[in-house]
Chains A and B, each alone.
Chain A
Amino acid sequence: MTLPRPIERFFQEIGRFVEMVGRVFAWTPRPPYDWRELLRQMVKVGVDSVPVVLLTAMFTGMVMALQTFTVLRRFNAESYVGSLVALSMVRELSAVLSGLIVAGRAGSAMGAELGTMRVTEQIDALEVMATDPVHYLVVPRVWAATIMLPLLVVLANAIGIFGGYLVSVVLMGANPVSYMDNTFQFMDLNDLISGLIKAGVFGFLIAAIGCMQGFYTTGGAEGVGRSTTKAVVVASIAILISDFFLTRLLF
């Protein structure tokens, strides 16, 4: 029995992903450790994404405040705007939005870079010179993304809450002191941690998927384009789906 093509391809992708993840874990503990490359990737994935992540988080916080203010006023519950904005950002929005942005910025770059290396035989050249391409190329990228995404989310949380504060206090005339009080009133450490765990998982997924797409590129320049697109699309879907299960898992 042969499966229909799309289903076959779906399972092939899953298989490749699992194999890639397995190889990443197998190679991670083995020397030589390329700290410089890890650092370089951390800058590329994390530091370079700071402005756009901040911008997104700022406006998300602002919109959240606007929306919740309008809706909660109907129940005379405006005093909970701060809590709502903060909890939404910390538990959910910072991680997902930063993830989607990093998928678009860094995941696509990984797909394109490794894809180009594949079609120009640079990956073959690595293997020939006794260098495992997963060890050399994928391991630093995956861990850089896994480390940097939670750090981006910390920034996004702060700036998102600040954006909400700005709108509520300046635009909606909320009392600054009670708004700030309210913001942290219902939050505990677990909310923050669950957001950070999510971010770490998303970072891992983005890099592993981006690298995998690049790694299996075929067909020249067109193939590189295809891999780049797939790196973003598949990673974004993976973020949204895994987000549901992570939320369920982390309470």
Chain B
Amino acid sequence: MPCKICISDLRKSFGPKVVLDGVDLEVAESESLVIIGGSGTGKSVLLKHVIGLLRPDSGTVEVDGTAVEKLGNREITEFRRKFGMAFQEGALFDSMTVGQNVAFPLKRLTRKSPAEIRDRVEECLAMVRLEGVTDRLPSQLSGGMRRRVGFARAIAHQPEILLFDEPTTGLDPVTTALIDEVIVDLNDRLKTTTLTITHDMQSAFRIGDRIAMIHRGKIIAVAPPREFQQLDEPRVQQFLRGEATGPLTDDQDAAAVGKAAIPGGRLQGPRGL
């Protein structure tokens, strides 16, 4: 299988804190890969490297054969058209209405007419079962609704690759199942390549063609869901069973890595002036 996203020996530290410690991962064309792992094990940081929001200290991320970290200012803008990304808390623009939020990528990334944009916005909001909220502001929505709007915004311009940063965390089980369904559906119908971060195991098994587990900045296991459950790796088993004690929690260094916040940092992305 050709690899759509190839990550090799990716390393990233914030100050003294090593967040990614040599990540190797391959995502195939139109595959749905789910990355699981405890809070703050570097999952979001990994995702931000794929789309070029963060620059690696060493190692490479290649998407369709293009090394992301080598792209210049203009190239990266073009490169990002391929992507749709849903952020943890939605990251909706709070000065815009829901409709304007979902329309944003369409205005910026496509040549659709205003009427087409309006239709597509409705369509995307319907897909996440949000209707009649087009004119509301994000501050007037519940957390779960905001998340779903963020999701609608990510898929609006029909990107080839979707990145989801905890799309279902904190949502009720029904909405979670709904979001999972949408992801599976996009993956099946449009052959979208998806990379999802979650710590919801049920979702992971529902949407993943393969599941990868990250721990202390390294990928410690990758396998299709069925095999993943059978893995003989004690750290995976602890995570799957959700136990408080075990090899994951034994070393306190792991917890320290977890505290490494993602700084707003330098002007981010692999382009300076």
List chain A positions with a Cβ less than 8 A from chain B.
16, 19-20, 22-23, 26, 117-125, 127-132, 134, 215-219
Contacts and interface: CB of A to CB of B under 8 A. Distances in A.
A190 to B, nearest CB: 36
B104 A121 contact: no
Contacts of A117: 93
Contacts of B269: 127
B221 interface: no
B87 A125 contact: yes
B140 interface: no
B98 interface: no
9 contacts: A122-B91, A122-B94, A125-B91, A125-B92, A125-B93, A129-B109, A217-B264, A218-B261, A218-B265
State the majority secondary structure of interface residues on A: helix
Contact of A215 (B105, B108, B267): B267
Contacts of A16: 266-267
A19 B272 contact: yes
B80 A130 contact: yes
B183 interface: no
Interface of B: 48, 51, 53, 77-78, 80-81, 83-85, 87-89, 91-94, 104-105, 108-109, 261, 263-269, 272-273
Nearest to A124: B53
A118 B264 contact: yes
A128 B163 CA distance: 10
Given A19-B272, A22-B273, A130 B267 contact: no
Given A19-B267, A26-B273, A121 B88 contact: yes
Contacts of B108: 129-131
The 7 closest A-B pairs by CB, nearest first: A121-B91, A125-B91, A121-B87, A118-B264, A218-B263, A129-B105, A128-B85
A19 B263 contact: no
Contacts of A131: 108
A134 B273 CA distance: 11
Contact of A129 (B94, B104, B265): B104
B179 to A, nearest CB: 18
A9 B121 CA distance: 45
A218 B269 CA distance: 16
Contacts of A23: 267, 273
B5 to A, nearest CB: 15
A134 B272 CA distance: 12
Contact of B91 (A22, A120, A216): A120
Contacts of B78: 130
Contacts of B104: 129
Nearest to B81: A130
A132 B80 CA distance: 12
Contacts of A119: 264
Contacts of A120: 89, 91
A219 B267 contact: no
Given A19-B272, A128-B80, A218-B263, A121 B89 contact: yes
Nearest to B87: A121
A219 B85 CA distance: 22
Given A129-B109, A130-B80, A130-B108, 9 more contacts: A22-B273, A125-B93, A128-B51, A128-B84, A130-B77, A130-B78, A134-B267, A215-B264, A219-B261
Contacts of A215: 264, 267
Nearest to B157: A129
A125 B264 contact: no
Contacts of B109: 129-130
Contact of B80 (A22, A121, A127, A219): A127
Contacts of B48: 124
A23 B94 CA distance: 25
